[in-house]
Structure 1
């Protein structure tokens, strides 16, 4: 969705960036599920953690955001405690919560993010549970439930700015839209003030309440987005004909935040929740939604809860643009 964000959020993305080359780690069975699927490796996480302070979470390259800043309502908080790991349907999942009582001081958001930026072309997949109504309190808030990949930006119209919004779900609307509505957005660049976004966008005007699998294939000039195996968007260029494929490395993230506080009813607190079952990325490899599901099932069959076999050597090296 072409909406204004704040540079504080993008600076935070830059602050966690690091380059990892040839990393390899696995937790669980030695019979790794996807070792031969791509010569450039994979990233998989089943989110089997105990808390945002679990040392394994950081060791595996994730953290719960805690710093202030955008996107969303200026002055609202992003406490790390808004990330937890709970069991639902017999499976442990990551849970994000966001709360508001209609006041800035009473509003919190959540973000679970990758602390390394080494993802670009290939296939991204994640199984996410959205909710159309709050778990606690009155409904109506303009909440944004998301999964995305993003890189840093240094200035307005940065020519290598890269972002892929796999899904931005607004169950109650926002940005002048009536909900429920879901957006996929592929970015070329943007200017902060006055706001100007150069993107390709698609939308689905329907509910995405419940569990759904979101797959994004990036390569050969296309960013293709799928929901539950159905192609919902195929992006190539922005409104000026510029590519919207990533031109620098990104991280994979999920966040849950309030667009504004205009929709809140009353003064009691409402709590919204988003859950993430698993995350998967195959570097430089086109993986179908059916294949992604099968590979995750194989990981679970062999009790493999985490793998990072991503390579940045030889033909797998991601070109790094010069300083600009």
Structure 2
């Protein structure tokens, strides 16, 4: 059974202080991604998109990012609509959100060879804990197809295993108090939490944050490795699929009712032990969104391959209004 996640979360966000940057999409596309280094688990590159070849301006209603940035203080990160969280609200351990866990290193297992890395760390005390979240801002994503290639971890990169960690990918309303609150979650808990024994991947559609009103499905399965997570919200129904396999659908109240931002995060439900420092890694290879259309995983991957083949790191043609 799904447990309350975010009833204490405050939606106060601190934008990193960065130089103002105004540019066209073509100028902001960044350096071309590497074309080598992907292992057998990474999707093939160089395939054409399902329609016309993509350009830095991109097809209409599309958001794509392969996270080709130098670090949390890269001006392009803010120019492209991303923030690294620093406020003290929930979920997880209060007052532990930090920019230090967000990075953009090379990774030979990733398509294009670069990733967004989320590193959450703790020594079992609140003072020794750092959680990490990267979110979009002002993008106004509503119905359509949301997809990301994400590496989930079953154990820490260093230190003792056993933490109740949540590895998350979700679109969500800007404010918990919104009349039309909307939230669509992927939450992977390798060691479980809230009394549940892991591993567990929860897919959850929310109607209200407080008091919690949502419908959910739990997949009890080890999922360490790369996966394509998709949410399709169309025609009064939300469908969650993992690597092309449908996991869960919701309808009625449990569909998007307003525009949302995208979040990627690593956070701790609680601190079950103090057995020395440990660090958890989650990786995000790319994010893709298509407004107002249900896109198959095959066609999502073809579009993504087309962007990589064209050396296009970032596209945002989603209407602002």
**TM-score normalised per structure 1:** 0.83
Aligned twin of 1:212: 227
Aligned twin of 1:203: 218
Compare the two structures and name the one with the higher strand fraction: 1
Aligned twin of 2:258: 248
Q: CA deviation at 1:35?
A: 7.6
Query: Which runs of structure 2 are paired with 1:278-297 in the superposition (5 Å)?
Result: 278-297=286-305
Q: Is the 8 A contact 1:131 1:272 kept in 2?
A: yes
Aligned twin of 2:172: 150
CA RMSD after TM alignment: 2.4
Does 1:82 pair with 2:101? yes
Query: Which runs of structure 2 are paired with 1:128-147 in the superposition (5 Å)?
Result: 128-147=150-169
Mapped to 1, the partners of 2:306 and 2:251 lie a distance apart of 32
**TM-score normalised per structure 2:** 0.84
Q: CA deviation at 1:152?
A: 2.9
Aligned twin of 1:20: none
Residues 115/159 of structure 1: CA separation in 2 closer, same or farther (3 Å cut): closer
Match of 1:99 among 121, 130, 137: 121
SS state of the match for residue 285, structure 1? coil
SS state of the match for residue 288, structure 2? strand
Q: Is the 8 A contact 2:134 2:263 kept in 1?
A: yes
1:28-80 Cα shifts (integer Å, max 9, x gaps): 7995269886xx510000110010000111111112112222110224x1111
Match of 2:270 among 260, 273, 286: 260
Which portions of structure 1, spanning 4 or more consecutive aligned residues, are displaced by more than 4 angstroms? 28-31, 33-37
Q: Is the 8 A contact 2:118 2:265 kept in 1?
A: yes
SS state of the match for residue 302, structure 2? helix
Aligned twin of 1:46: 66
Show structure 1 runs of 5+ residues with no match: 17-22, 238-242, 318-324
Aligned twin of 2:195: 176
